[in-house]
A and B are shown apart, each in its own frame.
Chain A
Amino acid sequence: MSLPIKDVLAAKGITTSGDSLAKLESKWKEFEDLKGSLEGAPLDDFDLALKNTAGGDHHG
């Protein structure tokens, strides 16, 4: 069960401007539709999307 957008933002300490809530809900719905086939896609066992460079920046 998903929380209403207003509650999600309030939990983060964000107050929405007066007329933005309806627009936020509408736009978020568009984003969910846009995500489409990506939702639930299986992960690649060897996925290396994020990296952690030991010893500082600029190595390798």
Chain B
Amino acid sequence: MDKDLLKKTVTELSGLIKDKEVSPVEVTQNLLNYIDQSNKDTNSYISVTADSAMARAKEAEQEITSGNYKGVFHGVPIALKDNIYFENEVTTMASKIHKDFVSKDDATVTARLRDAGAVFTGKLNMHEYAWGIDNDNPHFGAVHNPWNPEKVPGGSSGGSGAAVASHSTYSSLGTDTAGSIRIPSSACGIVGLKPTHGRVSKYGIFPLAWTLDHVGPMSKSVADAAAMLTAIAGFDGRDPTCANVPVNDYLSGLNGNVKGLKIGVNEEYFFKDVDGPVEKLIRDRIADLEKQGAIVTTVSIPSLRNAEWVELATSLSEASAIHHSDMQTRPDDFGADIRFLFELGELFTAVDYLQAQQARRQLKLEFTAALQEVDVLIAPTLPFISPNIGDDKVNINGKQVDFIENCIRFTGPSNLTGLPAMTVPAGVVGNMPVGLQIIGRAFDEARVLNVGLAVEEMKPLGDHQPMLAP
């Protein structure tokens, strides 16, 4: 097994493939051999599609050899979250109810990556129906955090987070309704980008909450996230929420220059009740950006005081509507934790939901105003370090508080507003990674990625690396 090859980023690997220094067949076989071993520790894969991956790798090799190189993802093995459809293959949503579901279509993101020449190695574990944070799945088992296998990897895209962090995939996609890309990315020490709502088509992705759902990159580096966004973004008439706006080449636009960048810090919400060591790391990184020429200012967004209830009322109501029929007819087939959430969602009235949408609009207007004063907002992604698997409480400054509600406290607002938000590693506390969140203007992912690169170039993880890695 070539461990150095496993640790390459997509952009590093693609250069080697393009220059024919390694072949897609060699890369894919090497990765499949490693997955055999690593998946026993992380449980990040629900299914490994070794035969079809090798067949696709051989096709890619022939295409590249004959001079038909398609770009960054050509011949690169990747795996996607198991709520993203593959044509004529099983997509389980990590559930009992959909364990044999076969889609007749690729999701749009799957099709775009397939067209870009990607080699799919399998489907990744997740919280059942993406409706939870700990990824302790009753049907497919718990996912283990590669930095410490006793710790929660975050969710709901926990398999994607653990697979990328353990180098069991070169890159991945997650979905994010209240933080499900950014939470596991933060907990697993990788880069996770929730694009602007409408930037990437959700066609062929099983919904959790229609108005809050997003799909986006989870990757080893900011450059990989930029390359992935470039590959999957763009208008799709099959998704009624998809926006017809221009797509940049996000990779070529990266330079990490933050001189003159205006950074907004919202103290009253995004720095309230944050565990001390986490807060210090985030403030240190903001200070580092200031040293590089960024201008830091405080901004006020009063409606954030309503954000937690608005997020809960919206997500719980929409999710319970989607699963209403199965809750009436086969509730015992759901895991106990999500069954409880679906019961909760049934309690909101139509008036509650509509009031939440009114408050949500006010929140959007205030974020828009704040982002006229500054270019980006910076905040912690999570206010704490991941707890142990099985814990439903988490420690913040000595207090035991609810894990789920505190998980989504800083990520949920960007699902309500639809604004782009990315997490990048900011450092390590107690050998566990901490993520810094960058929130940008609508469709301004290029700037968000660039600030992320500036943080990445500080090398905040130093020599620290996951325990479960090659």
List A residues at the B interface (Cβ < 8 Å): 5, 8-9, 12-17, 20, 23-24, 27-28, 31, 34-38, 41, 43-44, 47-50, 57-58
B309 touches A35 (CB 8 A): yes
Chain A CB within 8 A of B187 CB:
no
A20 touches B312 (CB 8 A): no
CB of B143 to closest CB in A, whole Å: 24
B331 touches A14 (CB 8 A): yes
**A47 contact set on B, CB distance < 8 A:** 358, 361
Question: Cα distance A28–B344 when bound, in Å?
Answer: 7
CB of B257 to closest CB in A, whole Å: 35
Chain A CB within 8 A of B336 CB:
yes
List B residues at the A interface (Cβ < 8 Å): 235, 237, 240, 242, 244, 305-306, 308-310, 312-313, 324, 327-328, 331, 336, 339-340, 343-344, 346-347, 352, 354-355, 357-361
**A37 contact set on B, CB distance < 8 A:** 305-306
**A28 contact set on B, CB distance < 8 A:** 344, 347
CB of A54 to closest CB in B, whole Å: 14
A34-B309, A49-B357, A49-B361 known; A17+B331 contact, CB < 8 A: yes
**B340 contact set on A, CB distance < 8 A:** 17, 20, 23-24
B305 touches A43 (CB 8 A): no
A-B CB contact pairs (8 Å), 10 listed:
A5-B347, A8-B347, A14-B343, A24-B340, A34-B312, A38-B359, A43-B358, A49-B360, A57-B237, A58-B235
Question: Cα distance A50–B360 when bound, in Å?
Answer: 10
A15-B331, A34-B308, A48-B361 known; A58+B237 contact, CB < 8 A: yes
**A15 contact set on B, CB distance < 8 A:** 331
Q: Which residue of B lies closest to A39 (CB)?
A: B355
Question: Cα distance A58–B190 when bound, in Å?
Answer: 34
Question: Cα distance A44–B331 when bound, in Å?
Answer: 40
A58-B237, A58-B244 known; A49+B354 contact, CB < 8 A: yes
Q: Which residue of A lies closest to B312 (CB)?
A: A31
Q: Which residue of A lies closest to B244 (CB)?
A: A58
**B354 contact set on A, CB distance < 8 A:** 49-50
Question: Cα distance A50–B339 when bound, in Å?
Answer: 29
**B305 contact set on A, CB distance < 8 A:** 36-37
Question: Cα distance A23–B352 when bound, in Å?
Answer: 21
